[in-house]
Structures are given as C-alpha cells and as structure tokens.
C-alpha cells in the first residue's frame, strides 16, 4: 500500500402474591443489565476451560504491506488481545464517530506491536533501529518512491499522536512531528515523496462545553409534509444536543499542513472541520472536504452539509469550489437510492490535476423511470472551462479505475436486479462510446471474471496494471466452482476480450494471488495454505527453476488442533435448492467407533434473486483450519461436531421478495442441514445447537421460535424486533409501512412465546452497528423471561458490535461453553423442544 494512510474493528427471586408480586415482576422485567447481574449473585469476568483459553491466546500472524515497487514489504506484528483496562479508556461517541479524546484519533484498541522490513527478492528480514517503545502503530503509508515509510504512533498515556518516518535504506526510524489529529482525516504522501499532507490539532478550537453545564434549552427536531418518503437508517452514536455539537467541533477541527522530511511545518489555510484531503497527482492542489453546520440529530457526520473544494497546495487558498452538498437526513426508498449532487469526488490518477465525480440524473430515486441513472464528469485544472461528461450510466456507478488517456474501467451496479457491468472508457476521448467488458449477476460467483489488478505509479496513485505492450490487463479472481474456490490469474487482451489463464490454484493447497510482481503476470506474490498448514507468503515464478519460494514461516497458531478434520459437504433443501457447509470433526473422531456427536451450527443468512446462484458452492476444502476464538470452531476442543457457515439462502426470484417467505426458507435450510448430519452418522439430531452473530443472531432466535430442531441457541449482538429498524435492514428495501406483515413475521420478538429451547443472548453494551441496539437483546430477554422461558443475558461492558477485550472474549467463551454443556451435550435423548 502507498500514498494514503492504511489503518490497523438468571434465576429470579421467588414470586410473591398480590401487589408486591406485580411490582416485583415489573421490576425484574424492566431491570437494567446491572440489576439483572446483581439479582443472579454473579460478578466479575470468568475464564473458560484451559483448552478454550489457549485458543483465545493463540499467537496472531503479522500483516504484510507491499511497497510500491513490489520488491519490499513492511511487516506489522498483530498484537495480542487488549485488556479491558485498554478498551475501557475514554472514548467519545459523536455523530457516528468513535474516538479517543486524548490522542485525537479513532478508537483503536489493537495497535501494531512491532515493525520490520522484508526483502521480497531474497526473503531477508531487516530490523528497524530507533523505533519507539511501545510502538503503538495505528496506520502506515509508503512514500511513492519507496524510500520512506511513514506511520503514526498513539500513546494513550501521554496523549501523543505522532508521525514517524522510517528510512528504508538505513532501516532507521525517527519522529517527524507530533500533535496529529486523525479523527476526521489521516495523512498522505505528497507525490514527490518529499513530504506529507497532514492534519494537526488546532489551537483555535473552541473550548469544550462544561460537563456540568446547565442546559440552555431543549433539543428540537422538525419536519414538514411535502418532502416525500425518505428512508432514515437507525444510526448509532448520534449527536443529542448542542453540547454534543460543540464537543464534536472542538475535536474535529484540524489544521491542514505540509511537513517536509526535515520536520518543517507549513500550515495551509485556516483550520476547518476536515473529513478528507488528497493531493493532486502533480502536487499543485489539494482536494479537501469540510463538514459544516447545520448538524443533525438523525444522521452521522458523513451526511452533514459539506463543502468540497480545491486548495492551493502551497498556501491553502481556495482555488475552486467543486460542490456545496446539503444535509442528507434521508433517501428515497430502495437500496439503489443515492443523494443528489456530486458523489465520489476524487483525482483522476493518470492526469496531473483532473477531478472526477458522479451525479444522479434520476433525483437519486430508483423508483423514478430514467434511461440515465448516473453521469460521470471530469474537470481539469485550472477549472475555468466547463466539466466534461465522461459517461452516462443506466445503473449506479460502483467504481472507476484509471490507467492512461485511452484506458480506464468503469463499474456500474443495480441492487434490485443484482446486475453488474464493467466498461472500458476513454478518458481523453469522452465522446467515444464505452466498450462492454463484463456483464453478470453479482450473485453468480461462478461467472465472476475477477478483479482488475492495479499497481502504484510514481506519484503514489493506484492505476490499472497493464502488460509491457499496454495491450492487456490482468484479472485476479476467487475461482468459485462446484469444487470450491480455486483462485486464478488471467491475462485479458483489450483488443479482442480474449482471456488466457496464467495461474490456477491446485489441490491440495489453496493459493491466493495477492499481487503481480512483474508485467507478464507470471511472477506472483501469493499466500499458500492447506488444512494443516497455516497461511504463509510465497513468491511463485513460472520462469524460475524453483517456481515456489517461501517468504515467511508463520507457525501453526493452535498445534493442539492440527488434526481436526474438515469436509465441504453438499446437500439439498426440500424445494431443490442445493446447499453447502463446512463440516469440522474433532481430532481422532471415528463415526463408527464413537457414534454421533453433539453439534454446533453457526450461520448467517443471505438473500438471493436466483435459486441457481443460491446453490453455488462457497469457500474451499483446502483452506487452513484456522480455529479463531470468534467463530464456532473452538468447541471442537470440547468434543462437538461443528457445521460452519451452512447455506441459509433466502430466495426471491423474479418479482418475488425474498423476505416474504423468510421463515419458511430458513427452517427448510436448517432442517436439511440437521438431516444431512444425521444421515452421515456424525451428528446427533437430538443434540444440536444453533448460533450466530448479528444477522446470524436474528436467525438463531427465529429458528428457535419457528422450529423444534435445536436444543439451544447462542445469539450474539442481534436485532430481534424489526419495528425498531423500520426503514430496511440487511437486503430488505421496503420500509415497515410497505411490508408490515413481513416485518412482523420476521421479528422473533413477536414470537417469543414460542421460544422453548434455552437461548443465550450476548451483547456489547456500546454496540455501534446500525440496528443492533443493545436494547434489542435486553427486550428479547425480558420477553422470554416474562413468558416463562429459559434465557440468559450477558451484557459486555465497553464492547462494541465486535468484542475486543481479552476478558470479554474469555467470558464469551465461558458462557457459551456452559450453555452448550448444560443444554446440548447433557440433553436427554428426546425430541428437541417443540417437536421437529
């Protein structure tokens, strides 16, 4: 990577009679999580059994960041899980942002612990002298000429957010600057590699409002008829009042500046509420985006009014205003809806200083009939001539990748039909008709041509990677097939559209191309793995006597589980849809000798417009058996069979909406999976648990409510009442008032009286994911408790949608293990709750 910074995610008391009983029941039903915890007599974090704790504490492999010339890489050591003392440090949650106020940086509780260089040509590692201790690496960026590696260091104790520089020739580090503000925007190299564009804390920030300030008035919102239906997502961490707004301004305000390699700082213009900045390829200008008032209590800062303008890179003076974008507090209904005005404003990578952006021509409303949905524009410096129209699109713009004056690629997409197209366009001949390269349904993995390879140019910009003669591009793909994923590299001839396969992963290994190391496509940087061999980096060179050369030798992180078995299984749903899943069995297990095992199924439903696409095989049987603490695989160490990611497709072909038959299709998929495990003799159908995270948790509660297939469920950080996400969720485009019966039928909260199997609910108290408010789990637990069911609610302090602290992870594993042991492994040999 180069140029811009790359960041491093109860038992109740006895019931009394009469009025006292009513008051007590009401108090328990609506008790806070703290009160519920106190009522159980439990306190403190728990650790799981040793074999589960060892998985949570397993070492994590370093991350590799390839340099622009592709012959050098930075290696960053992924740290161990942070402690709750780290995760519980101060964190502000304002306007959709979460940041540490002392360091003026996004909340990042897992900072790089070590940094070194790796020579791709020889595999030689070089240590870097002068690194600060502790390192605290939050992000990094290669200079375009590869001479320098910049990174910012966070030190929460001192409040430091520092910019450091590594000289790659001498492998020595030094501090370049301090006082960075990376909350709204980061830092980026100037194209000449002689300095960086940075955002610094401003001494002109307005004072923070007093924490105990007396309110000056109510927080007021207002709407009027006439604007039409607007969908508003259920965002988290929004502003609540004027005090919040002033606090946001205090921390978001930053001073744009240039810093040269000697540390000299040149301020550019006045401080502003910057959300983004980017130097032009010729270094003469800066494209900057600022947030402005009026702020909103309904949407995050990215929807606030914004000014997009071009600044002089020497003085910071405004040269050209690209757009003044209004507050966007809602969009028309549909996943293809977009705001009006300029979107995706950026520099054209292959020109000195030319802007490109897209604008909706249908008012951003997918329900409005229009031959042209989006138009792509270009505008060259000095911006005194009108913008040029590059392309009119019948779908929405999904991406633009530049190469040269006669070559760029444009992707367009339409969610409703899942249609995606890739076109060749001619930037220096905007009147020339585009040429269609690929067209398919994005759901059709088997027909995916792959992603076009890119390479960093001399100015630090990503461009399409072409062959030496400029006549071909390269495609890197997953290679989905009925045999599983087999990644590939293809050469694509621009003149004819002919494709030549240069590389194809072969069993018994899974080899994934990560970068092309030359312009022939025959020398590759790949990762290689097998079920028993962990992922490592290699150079594969078709022209070399030894075509495969190892760059890294990361050890097996959980050698005690090396011999678990894995099989990619296929089975059929009652309506004929083909399903897949990955079946894991404990090491040494023999079905004929040991009999069927208790089972944990872990899944995440997906919507499809085609039964054929839903039936396609996913994943690969040759991938490494990585046992992470996050998924279901740790319970292999506890003697469970695990069916990971079994297909749970929700299909709606033609004009049918998938979710109108969500429950029926979900139960049918689950039943097919349970029946297949029983048919194979590896799973005991009377001892099966189901679990999932987020939408998988929603699935879990629904399966317990609408089937008797499972003895217990584990639902983490889910949403259970869809009336609380009334303007759509997941792939559902319709709002609650358009599809009220679907919303009601899909909400397991509405069917809590039918949940008879025990349900473990786990949720982060500070979940920031849209729709999965912590209240969702609290209300679900209260419903099951009030209806006499069996449930347990675990609210993890200071945790977001994905849990981060070691104590939280260990507690999650301990609770899940207890649940599975008590309600599944020790289950009596009878039909699962509710009947099958």
- Go through 452-465 and write b for each residue having 16 or more CB atoms within 10 A of its CB, e for each that does not: bbbbbbebbbbbbb
Q: Are 707 and 670 in contact (CB under 8 A)?
A: yes
Query: DSSP secondary structure string, 770-800?
Result: TT--HHHHHHHHHHHHHTT--EEEEEETT--
d(C-alpha 749, C-alpha 743), whole Å: 11
Distance in angstroms between the alpha carbons of the first and the last residue of the chain: 53
Q: Are 187 and 141 in contact (CB under 8 A)?
A: yes
Q: Residue 560 has what DSSP assignment?
A: G
Helices and strands, counts by H and E, the chain: 12, 48
409 bridge partner residues: 401, 424
Structure tokens at 289: 């985006």
Distances (CA, A) of 588 to 129, 482, 585, 639, 696: 47, 28, 8, 10, 30
d(C-alpha 59, C-alpha 331), whole Å: 45
- Go through 524-534 and write b for each residue having 16 or more CB atoms within 10 A of its CB, e for each that does not: bbbbbbbbebb
* Residue 592 burial by Cβ neighbours in a 10 Å radius (0-12, 13-18, 19+): exposed
CA dihedral for 399, 105, 318, 267, sign (positive or negative): negative
Structure tokens at 449: 């041509």
3-state secondary structure (DSSP) of residue 291:
strand
Residue 77 has, within 13 A of its CA and on its CB side, a CA count of 12
- Go through 384-411 and write b for each residue having 16 or more CB atoms within 10 A of its CB, e for each that does not: eeebbebbebebbbbebbbbbeebbbbb
Active-site residue set: 694, 767, 801
Helix (H) or strand (E) holding 548: strand 548-550
d(C-alpha 403, C-alpha 523), whole Å: 21
| Percentages (nearest 5) of helix, strand, coil residues in the chain | 20, 35, 50
* Residue 47 burial by Cβ neighbours in a 10 Å radius (0-12, 13-18, 19+): middle
**Nearest Cα to Cα of residue 555 among 66, 62, 78:** 62
The residue length of the chain stands at 836
* Number of other CB atoms surrounding residue 829 within 10 Å: 7
Q: Are 701 and 713 in contact (CB under 8 A)?
A: yes
Structure tokens at 732: 């559902």
- Cis preceding-peptide flag for 134 (omega within 30 of 0): yes
């Amino acid at each position: 990577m180069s140029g811009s910074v790359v960041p491093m995610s109860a038992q109740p008391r006895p019931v009394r009679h009469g009025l006292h009983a009513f008051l007590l029941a009401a108090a328990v039903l609506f008790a806070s999580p703290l009160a519920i915890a106190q009522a159980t007599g439990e306190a403190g974090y728990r650790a799981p059994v040793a074999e589960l704790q060892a998985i949570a504490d397993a070492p994590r492999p370093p991350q590799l960041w390839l340099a622009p010339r592709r012959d050098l890489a930075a290696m960053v050591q992924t740290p161990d899980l942070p402690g709750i003392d780290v995760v519980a440090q101060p964190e502000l949650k304002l306007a959709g942002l979460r940041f540490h106020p002392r360091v003026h940086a996004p909340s990042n509780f897992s900072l790089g612990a070590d940094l070194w260089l790796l020579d791709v040509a020889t595999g030689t590692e070089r240590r870097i002298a002068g690194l600060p201790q502790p390192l605290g690496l939050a992000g990094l960026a290669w200079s375009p000429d590869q001479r320098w590696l910049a990174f910012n260091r966070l030190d929460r104790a001192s409040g430091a957010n520092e910019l450091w520089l590594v000289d790659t020739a001498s492998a020595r580090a030094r501090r370049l600057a301090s006082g960075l503000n990376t909350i709204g925007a980061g830092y980026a190299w100037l194209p000449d590699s002689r300095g960086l564009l940075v955002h610094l804390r401003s001494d002109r920030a307005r004072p923070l409002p007093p924490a105990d300030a007396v309110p000056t008035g109510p927080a007021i919102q207002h709407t009027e008829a006439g604007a039409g239906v607007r969908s508003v997502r259920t965002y988290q961490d929004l502003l609540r009042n004027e005090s919040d707004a002033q606090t946001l301004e205090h921390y978001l305000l930053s001073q744009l500046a240039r810093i040269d390699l000697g540390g000299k700082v040149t301020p550019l213009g006045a401080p502003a509420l910057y959300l983004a900045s980017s130097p032009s390829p010729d270094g003469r200008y800066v494209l900057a985006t600022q947030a402005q008032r009026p702020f909103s209590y309904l949407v995050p800062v990215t929807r606030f009014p914004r000014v997009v303008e071009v600044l002089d890179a020497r003085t910071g003076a405004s040269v050209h205003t690209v757009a003044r974008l209004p507050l966007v507090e809602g969009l028309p209904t549909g996943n293809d809806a977009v705001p009006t005005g300029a979107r995706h404003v950026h520099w054209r990578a292959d020109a000195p200083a030319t802007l490109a952006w897209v604008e909706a021509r249908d008012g951003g409303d997918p329900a409005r009939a229009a031959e042209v949905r989006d138009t792509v524009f270009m505008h060259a410096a000095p911006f005194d001539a009108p913008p040029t129209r590059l392309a009119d699109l019948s779908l929405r713009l999904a991406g633009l990748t530049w190469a040269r004056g006669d070559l760029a690629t444009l992707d367009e997409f339409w969610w409703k039909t899942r249609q995606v197209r890739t076109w060749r366009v001619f930037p220096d001949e905007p009147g020339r008709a585009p040429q269609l390269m690929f067209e398919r349904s994005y759901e059709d993995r088997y027909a995916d041509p792959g992603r076009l390879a890119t390479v960093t140019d001399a100015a630090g910009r990503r461009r399409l990677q072409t062959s030496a003669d400029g006549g071909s591009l390269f495609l890197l793909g997953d290679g989905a097939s009925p045999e599983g994923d087999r990644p590939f590299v293809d050469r694509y001839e621009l003149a004819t559209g002919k494709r030549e396969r240069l590389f194809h992963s072969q069993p018994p290994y899974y080899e994934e191309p990560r970068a092309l190391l030359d312009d022939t496509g025959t020398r590759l940087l790949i990762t290689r793995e097998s079920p028993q061999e962990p992922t490592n980096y290699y150079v594969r060179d078709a022209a070399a006597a030894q075509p495969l050369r190892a760059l890294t030798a990361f050890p097996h992180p959980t050698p005690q589980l090396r011999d678990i078995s894995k099989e990619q299984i296929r089975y059929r749903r009652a309506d004929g849809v083909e399903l897949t899943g990955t079946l894991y069995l404990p090491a040494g297990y023999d079905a004929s000798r040991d009999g069927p095992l208790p089972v944990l199924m872990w899944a995440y439903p997906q919507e499809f417009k085609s039964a054929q696409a839903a039936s396609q095989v996913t994943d690969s049987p040759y991938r490494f058996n990585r046992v992470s603490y996050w998924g279901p695989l740790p319970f292999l160490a506890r003697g469970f069979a695990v069916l990971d990611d079994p297909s749970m497709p929700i299909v709606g072909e033609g004009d049918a909406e998938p979710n109108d038959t969500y429950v029926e299709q979900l139960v049918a998929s689950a039943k097919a999976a349970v029946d297949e495990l029983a048919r194979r003799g590896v799973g005991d159908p009377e001892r099966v648990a189901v679990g999932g995270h987020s939408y998988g948790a929603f699935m879990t509660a629904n399966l317990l409510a609408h089937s008797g297939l499972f003895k217990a469920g584990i639902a983490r950080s889910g949403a259970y009442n869809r009336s609380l996400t009334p303007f759509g969720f997941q792939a559902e485009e319709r709002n609650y008032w358009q599809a009220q019966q679907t919303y009601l039928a899909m909400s397991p909260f509405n069917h809590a009286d039918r949940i008879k199997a025990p349900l473990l609910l786990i949720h982060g108290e500070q979940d920031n994911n849209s729709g999965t408010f912590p209240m969702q789990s609290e209300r679900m637990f209260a419903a099951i408790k009030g209806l006499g069911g069996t449930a347990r609610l675990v609210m993890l302090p200071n945790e977001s949608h994905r849990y981060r602290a070691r104590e939280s992870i260990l507690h999650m594993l301990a609770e899940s293990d207890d649940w599975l042991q008590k309600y599944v492994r020790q289950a009596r040999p009878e039909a699962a709750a509710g009947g099958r």
